[in-house]
Amino acid sequence: MRHLIDFDQMSLSEWDSLYRLAEDIMNRPAAYQDSCRGKLVATLFYEPSTRTQFSFQAAAMRLGAQVIGFSGAGGSSVAKGENLKDTIRTVAGYVDAIVMRHPSEGAALAASLASEVPVVNAGDGGHLHPTQTLTDLTTLMKERGTLEGLTVGICGDLKNGRTVHSLLKALVRFPNNRFVLISTANLRIPAYVREVLEAAGAPFEEVTDLAAVMDRLDVLYMTRIQRERFESEEAYKKEAGIYVLDKRKLDLGKRDLLVLHPLPKVDEITHEADADPRCRYFEQARYGMFIRMALLHTLMLQGRAAPAEAGGEVGGSCRNPRCITATEDWLDARRIGDRCLYCEKELAL
């Protein structure tokens, strides 16, 4: 693995090694505190972030590396109209790894085509968020001891929640998991994620009532309604506040239920429910730092190499206004089957 654009670039044995490294870091942090001394990481956050940005920065510093970057591109040359390719080529010349969050779908893949150093996707619009998935899998391993045979409920904004997309794509690779997808009709999982579930033959159901399924779940992954991805405030308000995990619903859950959330949460978990020991999302956030340490440690020691080759075939025309190809004119339109290589939405052929 050279870049981390989504979890599927990683073989399960690479995941295993990464997880073992994270555990070793948790057990023996002092052994790693200088392991990346002299290395430099850039964190380019074009969109707001607390956990992802800080956990990467903390991860780099705890390995002895240093960090440069921006939070909001307003203070960088992006505000002067610089394209992503030029920003990435420049920054890649200075650092040993780039961690990027960007509002456009497919932006991380595009960045990897311009970068001589590893690129980590820290969220590309409403598309993917693989390092949150690494965090989620680490939490499941630490708190449940397995990634197999779980009934996983995922509730909230399944359409726009990138953490949901990456998590589902990852969990279908482990045997005997079942999925209960809890959302309103408007916020169901997108077609490309549904196809992955179907292709894997993973049992999944789409339901609207959270309380009705609580007693069956081993894991409940709550998510925020992604206000910033809606066309209008009005459209957001129609979906907001529908799913709230409160004490009454939690009381219906198994005694060893695990409640996770990528955070930030808004109003989808009450303060009373928050106090339940089955809610493990702050532990989850902390595990995220350790698995990101393992990731940076693995990627940064690789050195420089020619930028990635674009995959797929040239052709098609992406109609998705949020796709990175809509704004970066140096990118060839590319497809895999009838889907855009970058954002995975259906193409006009």
Nearest alpha-carbon partner for 43 in 119, 112, 147, 133: 119
Smallest separation, CB 247 to ligand NCD (Å): 23
- CB of 88 or CB of 167, closer to ligand NCD: 167
Smallest separation, CB 158 to ligand NCD (Å): 12
CA 306, 124, 192, 9 dihedral sign is: positive
- CB of 3 or CB of 224, closer to ligand NCD: 224
Cβ pair 162, 192 in contact under 8 A: no
Smallest separation, CB 228 to ligand NCD (Å): 8
Q: What is 267-303 written as a DSSP string? A: SSB-HHHHTSTTB-HHHHHHHHHHHHHHHHHHHHTT-
- CB of 102 or CB of 142, closer to ligand NCD: 102
Smallest separation, CB 223 to ligand NCD (Å): 6
Smallest separation, CB 4 to ligand NCD (Å): 14
CA–CA dist 157, 189 (Å, integer): 8
- CB of 224 or CB of 280, closer to ligand NCD: 224
- CB of 104 or CB of 308, closer to ligand NCD: 104
Maximum CA extent, the chain: 55
Residues found near ligand NCD in the complex (CB under 6 A): 51-52, 123, 129, 132, 162-163, 224, 226, 262-263
Between CA 50 and CA 57, with CA 53 as vertex, the angle to 5 degrees is 125
- CB of 196 or CB of 263, closer to ligand NCD: 263
Nearest alpha-carbon partner for 260 in 177, 122, 123, 163: 163
Smallest separation, CB 46 to ligand NCD (Å): 12
Residue with tokens 């955070």: 263
Q: Which helix (H) or strand (E) holds 258?
A: strand 258-260
